[in-house]
Structure 1
Amino acid sequence: MASTAIINARVFDGENVLPAATTVVVSGATITAVGGPVPDGATVINGEGCTLLPGLIDSHVHTGIPQLELALKFGVTTELEMMGYWDAESRRQIAERDDLADLRTASYGLTAPDGHPNQLTKRLDASVPLPHHHHHETPSGEAVLTTATTPDEAVTFVKQRVSEGADYIKIMIEDGTVFASPGLPMLSRETLSAAVTEAHKHDKLVIAHAMTYEAAEVAAEVGVDGLSHLFLDRGADLNILEKLKGKFIIPCLCLDASILGIKPTTFARDHRVSASLPQTWLTHLNGSMDTFPGGDFSTVLKIVAALRETETIDVLVGTDSSFPVPHLAGIAHGASVHYELQLLVEAGFTPVEALRAATSVPARCFGLGDRGLIKEGLRADLVLVQGGPTGDIRDTLSVKSVWRRGKLLASTAGL
């Protein structure tokens, strides 16, 4: 089997920076050596002046084939979808396509009839290329439930998601406050608890959408495993942190900034971003949602800093990237992962801590035992970047080469 040896690069293995330039050997789809000699006949990649990273993981997206392709170009080798509509065959095809980021998904997210995100999705027109499987019955002939009103319906919902191959379960706890849509229908605590209990019976994680303080409290009380957002409505009230111990949080700071009306214009002007994004996505990135302008982003950063200080709550990189439509503006697949890393550092994370939040930490939290680390025997999902992002996080944008399952992405070959 043909081998590739990446030599002379600094290596961040997902947890730590290795003490000296280390040769990493890839054979087929697998990392076969970290350290040691270059095998006879191996293709040699000289990584002098570069840093080798595990493939990056975006822990919160809504995606499609073009988005998975764009993400991989920026070194994001896995996207974790928090609500989507993929059938089993589509997922099998994605798993085998090394020109796309890999995918894990919650399938449908549990919400109340007319609850979040219906106020957003109903604004999408037919031109938006959403992936749909369009089925209305399960294989056993039951009607597919995409909402619930009772605990029994929530149990059925979870069973259906498990049967169709959902990797985890997503529940919505959203009254619309931060989306300029107050009064959205919400699920009762009893219904949410039933969903969580049923999911755990099937060994599935439960991730809650919760963007207000009260919603975060409810999420903690019903026993979810992770939260896919931060609360934006109550300043730096940190009393809730005790309730969140042992859970993980995907803050999606780039989304928070967009909701608060902050446009990432400086980031978007970086030539490494502007030259790599299609114009549609660059225009989209330069916008914002601006649905909760009364919030304060500096307070959001303080909350993230407090999460870091607890050392009992894992923080994961996620963007909530979705589709390039105006009311979801300010975020772009792939590129915004790098912005999220920069925002975590702005909040007080060290660059190494931020990089862990996009590699080993999400792999551990989501049970992705084959990735997130540069370690012998794991998938060869790798990113080679110019410079030293463990010292200057902005260097993650200087992507030279990307490997997905050991296959060099053609568009990055020889950059």
Structure 2
Amino acid sequence: MRLMRRSLLPLGFAVFAGSRPALADAPVALEGAEVFDGERRIGRATILVADGVIGAIGPSGSVAVPAGARRIDLAGRAVVPGLISAHSHVGNSAGAETGGRFYTRENVLAQLRQFAAYGVTTVTALGLGPAAFFDIREEVRRGGTDGADLLGAGMGVGVPDGTPPAGPMNLNDSQVARPGTPEEAREAIRAMARRRVDIVKLWVDDLNGTVPMMRPEIILAATEEAHAHRLRVAAHIHDLEQARIVVRSGVDIVAHGIRDKPVDAALVAAMRERNTWYIPTIQINEANYIYADRPELLADPFFGRALNAGLRAQFGDPEWRRSALAGAASSREEVAVNQRNLKALHAAGVRIGFGTDSGATAIRIPGFAEHRELELMVEAGLTPEQALRCATGQSAELLGLEDRGLLRQGRRADLLVLDADPQADIRNIHRIRAVWQRGREVSGALG
């Protein structure tokens, strides 16, 4: 029998939520900004921050500011919760290259700092994490690294010779478990549970028939075992039929958008009945051509902050641009199908989370990808407020995180201060003035 969804909190959540020492900074009052709290607009407000959490929040004039508090005037600005990525990767690229050899402490922490600079204050690494992932995650949880908080699936589970393809992605055997039988899949999940992963990742996709697809009996065995350990399961898919299989198998999260066909009434009904989450990851395909389509991005300070020298050289190469554009037709079509399916699923009441697959390859750029995803979600037909809900409160709920995602009393003071209101224009999310994490400013203006 399927476990009740409320019981499926990540096994490591209690440790994560309470592992850092309490902060003892003087209270800070953020006053006068237009505030979106992750669920609704509350207008001009005061946010009182103390000991890393929100001590009080309410309309301007309604919050008692204690004597000795530091007061920061944010009149004319906007505040939203820190963004939460439920599907990213870390440590799998450097420069313009991709591969497991780049998974080092220094590289992972640098990428987490880049995420935070772009306002992504919590990152979920959905697989490709070798043993070093667990040590880095614990270091991040202890604090002092000035980057996004890190959750993850450790290695993740694929199948022999399947997705993710080891050769093209330069992966090593420590990055993906590849069971060949249901019992081997169960043992892989048990091993991950012993390492206290936050979530389980299954790679199901067959890459358009070019590699073996994960068999339904393995999906079912892995999902049942994960639920026995109170772990949520996210499934990597591409096609409508793959989505049908994983939803029928009881996974909790469809971790990529459906990009081959329109969703149908049967799938929508099944996802609603099972409370299955959906993460569209539209930018995953747009990344294949946007930098060739828009060479002017290289002169944009907001984009430039995310670029390393290797990517800057690649994107500036006319031959690379010609090659990228020559092969762009299929990616453009997949973006369009993905957007239509997002609109249909959202309108039908399916629960939508937020992620981009950023970091899986070099061109899926941490931080910038998340900003583009918000724009693509709005282009698909969501309002800016609906897209922001997906990226904040709803992604926290998807991950079982009850301490962040909403600007509410007692929750973490993870927030963005913006120079303009993103509910008026989602592109205003670019106009970051400051990023706060656990009640401290960790990053300033971009560009």
TM-score range, shorter chain: 0.7 to 0.9
Aligned to 1:77, the other structure's residue is in SS state strand
Distance in 2 (CA, whole Å) between partners of 1:338 and 1:124 is 25
Asked if the contact 2:416/2:435 (under 8 Å) is kept, the reply is: yes
Asked if the contact 1:34/1:375 (under 8 Å) is kept, the reply is: yes
TM-score (norm. length: structure 1): 0.86
1:163 counterpart = 2:208: no
Show the counterpart of 1:233: 260
Aligned to 2:206, the other structure's residue is in SS state coil
Distance in 1 (CA, whole Å) between partners of 2:365 and 2:344 is 27
User: 1:43 and 1:32, CA in 2 relative to 1: closer, same or farther beyond 3 A?
Assistant: same
1:24 counterpart = 2:47: yes
Percent pairwise identity: 30
Structure 1 residue corresponding to 2:36, chosen from 4, 8, 12: 12
Asked if the contact 1:267/1:273 (under 8 Å) is kept, the reply is: no
How far is 1:366 from its partner? 1.0
Distance in 2 (CA, whole Å) between partners of 1:322 and 1:145 is 16
Show the counterpart of 1:139: none
Alignment of 1:181-196 (within 5 A): 182-196=209-223
Distance in 1 (CA, whole Å) between partners of 2:282 and 2:156 is 21
Show the counterpart of 1:401: 434
Asked if the contact 1:216/1:231 (under 8 Å) is kept, the reply is: yes
Distance in 1 (CA, whole Å) between partners of 2:367 and 2:64 is 33
Distance in 2 (CA, whole Å) between partners of 1:21 and 1:362 is 25
Aligned to 1:52, the other structure's residue is in SS state strand
Structure 2 residue corresponding to 1:66, chosen from 110, 127, 132: 110
Asked if the contact 2:301/2:446 (under 8 Å) is kept, the reply is: no
**Residues 274-302 of structure 1 deviation map (CA, whole Å, 9 limit, x = unaligned):** 34223445567887685944834333211
1:147 counterpart = 2:184: no
Distance in 1 (CA, whole Å) between partners of 2:72 and 2:389 is 24
1:103 counterpart = 2:134: no
Bigger Cα displacement from structure 2, 28-37 vs 356-365 = 28-37
Asked if the contact 1:228/1:250 (under 8 Å) is kept, the reply is: yes
Structure 2 residue corresponding to 1:317, chosen from 354, 360, 371: 354
Aligned to 2:222, the other structure's residue is in SS state helix
Aligned residue type for 1:71: F
1:248 counterpart = 2:294: no
Show the counterpart of 1:271: 300
Bigger Cα displacement from structure 2, 241-250 vs 368-377 = 241-250
Distance in 1 (CA, whole Å) between partners of 2:124 and 2:372 is 17
How far is 1:270 from its partner? 7.7
Alignment of 1:268-307 (within 5 A): 268=297, 271-280=300-309, 281=311, 290=328, 292-293=330-331, 295-307=333-345
Aligned length: 387
**Residues 321-349 of structure 1 deviation map (CA, whole Å, 9 limit, x = unaligned):** 11564xxx2x2111111111111111111
Show the counterpart of 2:16: none
Asked if the contact 1:173/1:186 (under 8 Å) is kept, the reply is: yes
Aligned residue type for 2:168: R
Show the counterpart of 1:384: 417
Aligned to 1:23, the other structure's residue is in SS state strand
Distance in 2 (CA, whole Å) between partners of 1:145 and 1:346 is 34
Structure 2 residue corresponding to 1:357, chosen from 390, 405, 408: 390
How far is 1:220 from its partner? 1.1
5+ residue gaps in structure 1? 136-143
Distance in 2 (CA, whole Å) between partners of 1:387 and 1:394 is 9
Structure 2 residue corresponding to 1:113, chosen from 155, 160, 164: 160
Distance in 2 (CA, whole Å) between partners of 1:98 and 1:47 is 27
Distance in 2 (CA, whole Å) between partners of 1:347 and 1:40 is 47
User: 1:31 and 1:294, CA in 2 relative to 1: closer, same or farther beyond 3 A?
Assistant: closer
Asked if the contact 1:98/1:405 (under 8 Å) is kept, the reply is: no
Distance in 1 (CA, whole Å) between partners of 2:441 and 2:389 is 23
Asked if the contact 2:223/2:249 (under 8 Å) is kept, the reply is: yes
Distance in 1 (CA, whole Å) between partners of 2:45 and 2:124 is 30
Distance in 2 (CA, whole Å) between partners of 1:250 and 1:334 is 17
